[in-house]
């Protein structure tokens, strides 16, 4: 897995490698607004995960997930303060948290 110095560099490389869609986190699904599609926890896999710490406070982290769905859609999900900052508990969150821990 490539190592990146910053989020912008990581997003640019992932996009060049085919991770072209932006995913959002819904209550019970991963959402792809550009395709008006949602994916349940069994419909996607986290292929890469990259963490970036804040310049002034290491607790301010950004987490970048490179995701591929079961239908071959590839994209990224960015969590501004890490997936633990979100208080929602769903199967989708549990899957992302498991990837974050590894």
Domain ranges of the chain: 7-101
Count of other CB atoms within 10 angstroms of residue 87: 6
Beta bridge partners of 45: 68
Cα–Cα dist 85/79, whole Å = 9
Instruction: Check if the beta carbon of residue 46 is closer than 8 Å to that of residue 65.
Output: yes
Give me the pLDDT at residue 89, please.
47
For every one of its 102 residues, what pLDDT tens digit does the chain have, with 9 covering 90 and above?
A: 788 989 999 999 999 999 999 999 887 889 999 999 999 989 999 999 998 876 655 556 788 999 999 999 999 999 866 455 555 546 787 777 777 666
Give me the pLDDT at residue 88, please.
52
Give me the pLDDT at residue 47, please.
94
Rounded to 5 degrees, φ, ψ at 78 are -110, 130
């Amino acid at each position: 897995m490539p190592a990146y110095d910053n989020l912008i560099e990581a997003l640019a490389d992932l996009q060049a490698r085919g991770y072209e869609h932006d995913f959002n986190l819904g209550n019970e699904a991963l959402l792809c607004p550009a395709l008006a599609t949602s994916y349940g926890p069994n419909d996607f896999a986290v292929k890469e995960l990259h963490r970036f710490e804040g310049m002034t406070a290491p607790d301010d982290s950004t987490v970048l997930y490179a995701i591929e769905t079961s239908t071959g859609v590839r994209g990224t999900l960015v969590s501004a303060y890490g997936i633990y900052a979100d208080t929602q508990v769903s199967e989708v969150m549990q899957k992302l948290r498991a990837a974050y821990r590894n």
